[in-house]
Amino acid sequence: MSLPHITLKRGKDKRVLNGHDWVFSNEIESMIGAPGVGDWVEVRRNDTKLIGFGFYHPHALIAVRILTRSKPPEDAELFASRIRSAVGFREKLFPGAGAVRLIHGESDGMPGLIVDRIGNWLTVQVNAAGFEKRLDLITELLQDIVKPEGILFRNDSYQRTLEELPEYVRSVPEAEEVGFEIQESGLTYKVDLIGGQKTGFYIDQRENRRFFRDLVTEGDKVYDGFCNDGGFAMNAALAGGEVMAADISAPALARAKENAVLNGLDGKITFMEGDLMKHPELIGAGGPYDVINLDPPNFARNKKSAIPALKGYIKLHGMAIKALKEGGILCTASCSHHIREDRFLDTVMEAAQKRNRKAVILHRAFQPADHPILAAMPETGYLKFMVFRIM
């Protein structure tokens, strides 16, 4: 099979040769052929030696997403092999899990493709034009290999705009609502795949929610900011805490309240609707608290927004520290790969210093093993979860 091929500029191939799977548009020196959006291309070094094969996009900053470096691609064979490998790995690590990420983009050799299994359904998010072009094949392979009850396509993410892809949500079979219960760490959650955040459930915080439970002791006053479906709040309540949980989203709070009732914890959690981003003074309302958790949405979608995002974290952390008792626990998370861990840590330190407090690191974590990080691509690592004792 003869494919169009691109040649990289001199000195621009080192990162890709080291395992990074993106070629940026400003790194291309020349092209032979006229590939369209989502077509296969060969990627070559400046000396024309072959690097690999990937999906091309003529109008995106990420011009090529490399999928294989070994042989010319055959779509069905390549994708089936990658899907089976990724699914088998998750079945080994997370047998019986109520919710698990089956395919995590570049880290599973499927750049721009996210697949979660939540209950007996799959939620699929396509952020690359190459996979959008082959979505029928991907759907067929997922149905054959995973055999789900249904597939929900949550193709409404910001990342799709970067590939000039339309936003939509649809399901196979067609359904107006997709809701059911799942189990996680001894708690029952009612999930709403269409109305919920991200792909329907925050799977990446699974282990951090369970860790949070062990930070709370009987009688502790706990504040859970940006509580969403109530995962951290319920774990705190299960440990004996008296919890205040806040979120801007009325639908999310409704699900959180329903989850609390479902687990017999509604008497231990008070819910509050409020915009903690615009009104950070709401953080810690009703304090002082023994434990505070902050799990805000993505502050920084791109590099340009990283600096204002860091300022936002300083404000949030400052209000949380102000509301914590001496020796209290602060848990905080960032879900943007544009915010480095050291810069995130600095926001807690600066907030503490401004209030003449000291922050002592107790625990650091990142995304779980079903959200693996490709070592050569720091962009695949996004979640930071840090725990501090505030003196």
Over residues 228-280, the pLDDT tens digits come to 999 999 999 999 999 999 999 999 999 999 999 999 999 999 999 999 888 88
The pLDDT tens digits for 137-158 are 999 999 999 999 999 999 998 8
Q: Using the predicted structure, report yes or no on whether residue 300 has a pLDDT greater than 70.
A: no
Q: Which amino acids are annotated catalytic?
A: 335
Q: Which of 129, 148, 179 is the last residue of a domain?
A: 179
DSSP 66: E
Total of domains in the chain: 3
Distance of alpha carbon 299 from alpha carbon 353, whole angstroms:
23
| Residue 299, both tokens | 């502050």
Helical (H) or strand (E) element with 142: helix 135-145
- pLDDT at residue 371, as a whole number: 98
Higher pLDDT: 1 or 385? It is: 385
| Helix (H) or strand (E) segment spanning residue 262 | helix 250-262
Mean pLDDT of 302-307: 76
- Are residues 31 and 104 located together in one domain of the fold? no
Domain membership of residue 350 as a residue range? 202-390
Same domain, 140 and 282: no
Cis peptide before 288 (omega within 30 of 0): yes
Is residue 98 a part of any domain in this protein?
Answer: yes
* pTM of this prediction exceeds 0.75: yes
242 in the same domain as 292: yes
Q: Do the domain assignments include residue 187?
A: no
Same domain membership, residue 175 and residue 217: no
- List Cβ<8 Å contacts ≥24 apart for 131-140: 131/38, 131/55, 132/38, 132/163, 132/165, 133/37, 133/38, 134/38, 134/75, 134/79, 137/75, 137/76, 137/79, 138/79, 138/113, 139/172
User: What would the pLDDT profile of 24-81 be if each residue is shown by its tens digit?
Assistant: 999 999 999 999 999 999 999 999 899 999 999 999 999 999 999 988 778 999 999 9
Q: Is the pLDDT of residue 320 over 70?
A: yes
- Kindly state whether residue 96 falls inside one of the protein's structural domains: yes
Q: 197 in a domain, yes or no?
A: no
Here the CATH number for the domain that contains residue 321 is: 3.40.50.150
CA 159 to chain centre: 12
Of 155, 128, 144, 172, give the one whose Cα is nearest residue 22: 128
Domain shared by 56 and 79, yes or no: no
Residue 163 and residue 113 share a domain = yes
Q: How much is the average pLDDT of 7-22?
A: 94
Let me know whether 41 and 166 are in one domain.
no
Q: Give percent above pLDDT 70 in the chain.
A: 99
The answer to whether residues 112 and 35 belong to one domain is: no
Does one domain contain both 15 and 139? no
Residues 254, 363, single domain; the answer is yes
| 370 assigned to some structural domain | yes
Task: State whether 242 and 311 are in the same domain.
Answer: yes
In a domain, residue 17? The reply is yes
Does 115 lie in the same domain as 20?
Answer: no
